[in-house]
Amino acid sequence: MGCFGFLKIMMFLFNGIICLAGAAILGVGIWVKVDSGSVLSLLQNIQGAPGELGQVLNVGYLLIAVGAVLLILGFLGCCGAIKESRCMLLLFFIIILIVFIAEVAGAIVLLVFKPLTENLIKQLGNEVVKSLKNDYGKNKDVTGLWNTTMTTLKCCGFNNYTDFTNSYFVNDTKSYPVQCCYKVPCIEITAFNSTIPGCFPALKKLVDDNAVIIIAVALGIAALELAAMIVSMILYCRIGSKVG
């Protein structure tokens, strides 16, 4: 088996795994959104499972999006290699390239334009707080997403508990979300004394504490993307020379 055959098999196996993983994630995401009742019942019947496991119901749309992208990428790479389809391989290369450029551009913006990034995040935070005040407790999806975030990061609101002051939820229930206090009932004075951080400061601290791991994972993903682009372009060119 020559180099070309070896690359075809490796491309098929690698993308076959991605395709299967994408299909599995997509299937779970659809199941979570369509039949949330049975999923919740299944999770509750798992002995020793943490209560937060039920919050997976709130990430259904994310699972669907990630699964669909992985499924498409895996299909293009897998079939492109086996069928020796230059069109599929080129499309695979373009999608990976777009993702790679977006990641590099995002990293450059974060590093070079840090003050601008912080300003944009602050403006985004203002809109997030408005949504929190208006929709938390009223909109099921928004409430579920915030409950998942606050439970996972052990935080309260975007900045702190004051994001809920005069909100729909507080006005309706006369209390703050339970995640904002160490004890119930969670009223304003209890939330004030709880010292639970906001979700943005908590997320920032989490990123800072795990910066080395995040950088290593990012470099690993970038290396895989570069390898996938190189292999797909080699196959594209070799198939073109065979056709010619």
Q: Tell me the pLDDT tens digit for each residue of 154-174.
A: 899 999 899 998 899 999 988
Question: Domain tally for the chain?
Answer: 1
127: tokens are 């809109």
Nearest of 10, 23, 25 to residue 75 by alpha carbon: 23
Average pLDDT over residues 117-124: 77
The answer to whether position 209 is within a domain reads yes
Calculated CA dihedral for residues 212, 218, 220, 225, nearest 10 degrees = -170
Please state, in angstroms and rounded to a whole number, the distance separating the CA atoms of residues 191 and 180. 6
At 92, the amino acid letter reads F
The answer to whether position 147 is within a domain reads yes
- pLDDT value of residue 164: 92
- pLDDT value of residue 109: 76
User: Does the pLDDT value for residue 10 go beyond 80?
Assistant: yes
Average pLDDT over residues 127-143: 88
User: Does the pLDDT value for residue 39 go beyond 60?
Assistant: no
Higher pLDDT among residues 133 and 122, named by residue: 133
- pLDDT value of residue 55: 54
Question: Residue 203: which domain range?
Answer: 110-243
Higher pLDDT among residues 53 and 83, named by residue: 83
| pLDDT tens-digit map of 81-106 | 888 888 999 999 999 999 899 888 88
Rounded alpha-carbon distances, angstroms, from residue 156 to 59, 127, 178, 194, 199 = 19, 16, 9, 10, 6
The answer to whether position 10 is within a domain reads no
Q: Give the percent of the chain with pLDDT over 70.
A: 89
The answer to whether position 132 is within a domain reads yes
The answer to whether position 199 is within a domain reads yes
Q: Is the peptide bond before 185 cis (omega within 30 degrees of 0)?
A: yes
The answer to whether position 22 is within a domain reads no
CB 175 within 8 A of CB 136: no
- pLDDT value of residue 98: 92
Kindly report the average pLDDT of the chain as a whole number.
Answer: 83
The answer to whether position 31 is within a domain reads no
The answer to whether position 37 is within a domain reads no
Range of lowest pLDDT (3-12, 82-91, 115-124): 115-124
Residue 183 has φ and ψ, to the nearest 5°, of -145, 160
H helix intervals, 83-209: 86-112, 114-135, 140-153, 168-173, 188-194, 199-209
Terminal-to-terminal C-alpha distance of the chain: 22
Which CATH number is 220's domain given?
1.10.1450.10
| pLDDT tens-digit map of 195-223 | 899 998 898 888 888 888 888 888 888 89
CB 231 within 8 A of CB 10: yes
Q: Give the percent of the chain with pLDDT over 90.
A: 17
